[in-house]
A and B are shown apart, each in its own frame.
Chain A
Amino acid sequence: MGEEQVSAVEAVELEKVYYGAVPTTVLRGINMRVEPGEFVSVLGQSGSGKSTLLNCLGALDRPSAGHVRVAGQDLARLDDDELADLRNSQVGFIFQAHYLQDEFTCLENALMPVSIRKGNPGDEDLARVTRLLERVGLGHRLRNRPPQLSGGEQQRTAIVRALANEPRLVLADEPTGNLDSASSEQVFSLMREINQETGVAFIMVTHDDRLASQGDRILRIEDGLLFEE
């Protein structure tokens, strides 16, 4: 199988049960596949399991049953350190909150995945990440710290951070949930453009039907099952 045919991410009979006082089955047998270059929107009621699904796809959480393959690798076969390395190199996360670190500049925050992998980012990394920051319109903000940035700028920094190690897959969990409509529009367009320019696969959870419809495909979670629209 050639490099081109490997899916960005693939779930087979994915189940997730939370074993609390009363066991809750959140995902009950999900099958899906996202190819490189695709932009997939995920819709669903609050509490329907969208975040749970994304966490399982992104090697952040382990499924109760079934398999997840990221870039052809079966996550069940990897130990915690290998999962961490896979998240670092193959997956980018964007959350509703930006989770940038106040002690670091915009550039340092965006370089965080590189630093985790290498200790010190090299010149090449620096150039690549700087270019990305310029691409999202933050060329003049490199040395600013997160509290000095607007909400939209913070989230754009988080987008660059997700892309810093050139992953195959970006998982965005309500990335525009905290933003006003203008910033939402801008953040979404940037993600979509980068998706088309670089071929990185995106899976975006959103409540906004209008944004969702601008992706390649829409998936909807209901009663723990996934439906293609």
Chain B
Amino acid sequence: MSFELRLALRHLIAGGGQTLLIVSGVAMAVTLVVFISCLIGGLQRNLVDTLTGPIAHVSLEAPQRVPRVPDTIPGQPDALVIASRQQRLWQPSTIDQCRCTEAMLRTFDHVTAVAPAVSGQALLTRAGTEKSVRVVASPPRQQDGISRLQDDLIEGNYLRLQNDETVIGYELAQELGVTLQDRVRLTTGAGISETFRIAGIVYTGSSSVDASTVFITLRGGQTLFGTGTLVTTFSVKLDDPFRADDVGDAMAASLDLEVDTWMRQNPQLLTALRAQTSSATMISVFSLIASSFAIASVLVVSVLKRSKEIGILKALGARRRQVLRVFTLEGLMIGISGSLLGGALGSAFVVLIAQIEAPSAVPGVAPRALFPGALIPSIIAGSMIAAVIATVIASVLPARQAADLDPVEVIRGG
């Protein structure tokens, strides 16, 4: 162990209560930073998770058909032309070579699941009540990789869905007053109508899904929308929701499909998340700055108290750099111990507060954490490193003050 390190350690030990105080100062700042950042980070993850959990991160559709102007079709009565156009417009655009496209989509980075689907609007009727819904028709095993439906089921089953069965959202079921095994009718804009038996009721937490989406098999959808063996949509899930725009752009560049992402559909949400993150960062930065000032002032006082000792060290031949190193090392050790303590305390608080549960409004759904903070390693490590750096910077001024002491003056003064 170097002489400087030994000296710094002795100083800290001799400091006793004062050392404890200053270490707890750092620890408190780190606790605050870790707690706030992890809490906000966790809340954001939870929010994005709830929002994007049941939906695709990226979805790809066939380019919209441009309606032809009736005038350009000669020799036909206008009414007939318009009628046939309208009929065709009700039919979704389809994607050819669906297997080939699916395989290609899987080759993109970050893609964890791809599901082909026929999706479109339909009218759901049940005993005189009718409701406009979004129909997602997809192979259950693949769609489950996108929507986690099997896990979110309150009752019934999704993975073994038959072609004449459907899984519907909890709020929709409440509104229509239907339960398992009840039959509902779906009617498309093209006038095709089919009856489905309710095989499952799902609660995803996302009201757009829970209140107005019904899931059926791909075959069921192909019949309902008359697409034959073709599909209208590919849903893609990613390992990181925030890559949706990047991956979407890459897909758009190499495939002739229209790409939409959850990020583009929710610009306000993203702005709000960013604002939240920057306020958390600001709070963190300011608390670290505040603690640095406190540390600097305590160290300045301790240098003043030790000026005789520093003077004699220099008289005995200590170089300027050696004295500088002693007090910077003190800052470093204070920073490291305070950061470790603060990191542990902050993490403990995050874990503790995550235990508080919000009672679930939906029967059969487990209660969720009221403050779903997450122990995000990058945030914890980052705060600790930032605090160590801040403490070392705070110790530079007192260290320079010590290194610049003139031994002659110290000795004359004593």
List chain A positions with a Cβ less than 8 A from chain B.
Answer: 51, 55, 60-61, 80-81, 84-89, 93, 95, 97, 99, 101-104, 112-113, 115-120, 161, 165
Interface: B130 (CB within 8 A): no
Contacts of B408 in A (CB 8 A): 55, 60-61
A60 touching B14 in the complex, CB below 8 Å, given contacts A99-B309, A116-B3, A116-B322: no
- Select the residue from B2, B318, B320 with max chain A CB neighbours within 10 A: B318
Number of chain B residues close to chain A: CB under 8 A: 27
Interface of chain B residues 1 through 44 with chain A (CB within 8 A): 1-3, 6, 10-11, 13-14
B370 at the interface (CB under 8 A from A): no
Asked if B219 is at the interface of the complex by the 8 Å CB criterion, the answer is: no
| Complex contacts, B318 vs chain A, CB 8 Å | 84, 88, 116
Query: Would you mind naming 8 contact pairs between A and B with Cβ atoms under 8 Å apart?
Result: A55-B408, A84-B319, A86-B317, A89-B317, A99-B414, A103-B13, A116-B3, A116-B322
Besides A97-B414, A119-B2, 6 new A-B residue pairs in contact (Cβ under 8 A), listed by A number:
A80-B320, A84-B314, A85-B319, A103-B11, A115-B3, A116-B316
In the complex, whether B356 has a CB less than 8 A from a CB of chain A is no
What is the bound-complex CA distance between A51 and B413, given in angstroms?
Answer: 12
Min CB–CB distance A130 → chain B (angstroms): 19
Residues of B close to A99: CB separation below 8 A: 308-309, 311-312, 411, 414
* A102 engages B14 (CB within 8 Å): yes
What 1/0 flags go to B370-414 for Cβ under 8 Å of A? 000000000000000000000000000000000000011001101
The answer to whether B315 has its CB under 8 Å from any CB of chain A is: yes
| Secondary structure type dominating chain B contacts | helix
* Chain A neighbourhood of B314, CB < 8 A: 84
Q: In the complex the two chains form, is B10's CB within 8 Å of A60's CB?
A: no
Pick the contact of A60 from B3, B6, B315 — CB < 8 Å? B315
Residues of chain A contacted by B319 (CB below 8 angstroms): 80-81, 84-85
A113 and B3 contact, CB distance less than 8 A: no
- B313 x A116 contact (CB < 8 A): yes
Chain A residue nearest in CB terms to B407: A60
Q: How far is the CA of A87 from the CA of B320 in the complex (A)?
A: 13
CA distance A80 to B406 in the complex (A): 12
- Taking the closest CB of chain A, its distance from the CB of B333, in whole angstroms, is 15
A90 and chain B: residue at smallest CB distance = B317
Contacting pair A87 B317 (CB below 8 A): yes
Q: B317: which of A103, A116, A119 is its contact (CB, 8 Å)?
A: A116
Q: How far is the CA of A95 from the CA of B321 in the complex (A)?
A: 24
Chain B residues positioned under 8 Å from A161 (CB to CB): 316
Instruction: Tell me which residues across on chain A come within 8 A of B414, comparing CB atoms.
Output: 95, 97, 99
Report chain B residues within 8 Å CB of A103. 10-11, 13-14
The residue of chain A having its C-beta at the shortest distance from the C-beta of B321 within the complex is A81
Count chain B CB atoms within 10 A of each CB in A101, A120, A161 and give the residue with the most: A101
A89 to B317, CA, bound (A): 8
Residues B322 and A101 in contact, CB atoms below 8 Å apart: no
Contact A85:B14 (CB < 8 A) given known A119-B2, A120-B1: no
Closest chain-B Cβ to A143's Cβ sits at a distance in Å of 15
Complex: how many Å from CA A93 to CA B315? 8
Nearest 5 interchain pairs by C-beta = A88-B317, A99-B312, A103-B10, A115-B3, A87-B317
Q: Are B316 and A88 in contact (CB under 8 A)?
A: yes
Question: What is the distance, in angstroms, from A115's C-beta to the closest C-beta of chain B?
Answer: 4
Let me know if B411 and A95 touch, CB within 8 A: yes
Cβ–Cβ < 8 Å partners of A81 in chain B: 319-321
Complex: chain A residue closest to B314, CB-CB: A84
Instruction: List residues of chain B with CB within 8 A of the CB of A80.
Output: 319-320
Q: Complex: how many Å from CA A104 to CA B6?
A: 10
Residues of chain B within 8 A of A117, CB atoms compared: 317
Q: Which residues of A contact B317 (CB under 8 A)?
A: 84-89, 113, 116-117, 165
Query: Looking at the complex, which one of B14, B308, B311, B313 makes contact with A112 (CB distance below 8 Å)?
Result: B313
Of A104, A113, A116, most buried by chain B (CB within 10 Å of CB) is A116
Q: How far is the CA of A117 from the CA of B321 in the complex (A)?
A: 13
What chain A residues lie within 8 Å of B311 (beta carbons)? 99
CB distance from B134 to the nearest CB of A (A): 74
Query: From residue B5, how far is it (CB to closest CB) to chain A in Å?
Result: 9
Which chain A positions have C-beta within 8 A of B316? 87-88, 93, 112-113, 116, 161
> Which B residues lie within 8 Å of A88 (CB)?
316-318
| Chain A min CB distance to B401 (Å) | 17
Q: How far is the CA of A116 from the CA of B3 in the complex (A)?
A: 7
Establish whether residues A87 and B315, one from each chain, have CB atoms under 8 Å apart when the complex forms: yes
Most buried by A among B11, B312, B313, B414: B312
A205 to chain B: closest CB distance in Å? Answer: 13
Contacts of B11 in A (CB 8 A): 103
Task: Please give the distance in Å from A105's CB to the nearest CB on chain B.
Answer: 11
Contacts of B10 in A (CB 8 A): 103-104
Q: Which chain A residues lie closer than 8 Å to B321 at the CB level? A: 81
Q: How far is the CA of A88 from the CA of B312 in the complex (A)?
A: 11
